[in-house]
């Protein structure tokens, strides 16, 4: 049994939970962070001295923190060869795109765009900075667009860990009130992700509790 600490409205927790759902793993999740609090307790610090979410514990094993490390652990232990290949060359192909998506898409969207559009009061938003962040993000999304125009998934012909790292951001990217560049292959890819039950359950959820008005 997996034990997970982290509120469901955290995008990092959503990436983890989507992975858990795709792998059909039993779990218990505890709401921690934001309005739930709990990050400043000594009990949570014993799980993760950084006091950040998510944290995962698999049975009696030591807790794991950092989303990328958690995802790779789950993929290696529970994923099939398409999701996380045993062959190191094939695995590296997926891992490089997963890391790319984390560093360039997730980090390029969450704080500079989502936080400034949703989690910042309207009278405090910097429209110029937001537009610059969107343009910067879209330069990287163009790279994903080229990949997805040539193949159905980010790293190849099958769904993999790379799609978790890219796809979990796209619900909010397409849902928030911003102007977006036309990227037809990416849009079609997102539409395919929305048909996945685990994506619907763990990613396509309201973030209204995070909104500052």
Which CATH number characterizes residue 35's domain? Answer: 3.40.30.10
Question: Do 92 and 74 fall into the same domain?
Answer: no
Q: What is the pLDDT of residue 87?
A: 97
Side-by-side strand order, sheet with 55-58: 27-30, 2-5, 55-58, 64-65
Q: How many domains does the chain have?
A: 2
Q: Are 63 and 56 in contact (CB under 8 A)?
A: yes
pLDDT in tens, the chain (213 residues): 999 999 999 999 999 999 999 999 999 999 999 999 999 999 999 999 999 999 999 999 999 999 999 999 999 999 999 999 999 999 999 999 999 999 999 999 999 999 999 999 999 999 999 999 999 999 999 999 999 999 999 999 999 999 999 999 999 999 999 999 999 999 999 999 999 999 999 999 999 999 998
Question: Do 97 and 31 fall into the same domain?
Answer: no
- Environment class of 125 (CB within 10 Å of its CB; exposed 0-12, middle 13-18, buried 19+): middle
Domain-located, residue 40: yes
Q: What is the pLDDT of residue 213?
A: 80
Question: Do 70 and 92 fall into the same domain?
Answer: no
Question: Do 57 and 121 fall into the same domain?
Answer: no
Q: What is the pLDDT of residue 133?
A: 98
CATH of the domain at 99: 1.20.1050.10
Q: Whole domain around residue 73: which residue ranges? A: 2-78
Question: Do 23 and 104 fall into the same domain?
Answer: no
Question: Do 121 and 202 fall into the same domain?
Answer: yes
Domain-located, residue 83: no
pTM of this structure:
0.96
Q: What is the pLDDT of residue 75?
A: 98
Q: What is the pLDDT of residue 207?
A: 96
């Amino acid at each position: 049994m997996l034990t997970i600490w982290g509120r469901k409205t955290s995008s990092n927790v959503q990436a983890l939970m989507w992975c858990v759902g795709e792998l059909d793993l039993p779990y218990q999740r505890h709401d921690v962070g934001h309005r739930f609090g709990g990050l400043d307790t000594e009990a949570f610090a014993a799980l993760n001295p950084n006091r950040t979410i998510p944290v995962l514990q698999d049975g009696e094993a030591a807790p794991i923190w950092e989303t990328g490390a958690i995802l790779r652990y789950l993929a290696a232990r529970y994923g099939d060869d398409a999701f996380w290949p045993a062959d190191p060359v094939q695995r590296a192909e997926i891992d490089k795109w997963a890391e790319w998506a984390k560093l360039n898409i997730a980090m390029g969207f969450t704080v500079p765009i989502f936080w400034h559009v949703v989690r910042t009061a309207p009278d405090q938003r910097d429209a110029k900075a937001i537009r610059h962040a969107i343009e910067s993000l879209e330069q990287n999304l163009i790279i994903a667009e080229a990949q997805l125009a040539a193949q159905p998934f980010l790293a190849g012909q099958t769904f993999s860990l790379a799609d978790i790292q890219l796809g979990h951001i796209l619900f909010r990217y397409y849902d928030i009130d911003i102007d977006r560049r036309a990227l037809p292959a990416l849009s079609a890819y997102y539409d395919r992700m929305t048909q996945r039950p685990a994506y619907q359950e763990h990613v396509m959820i309201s973030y209204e509790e995070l909104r500052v008005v």
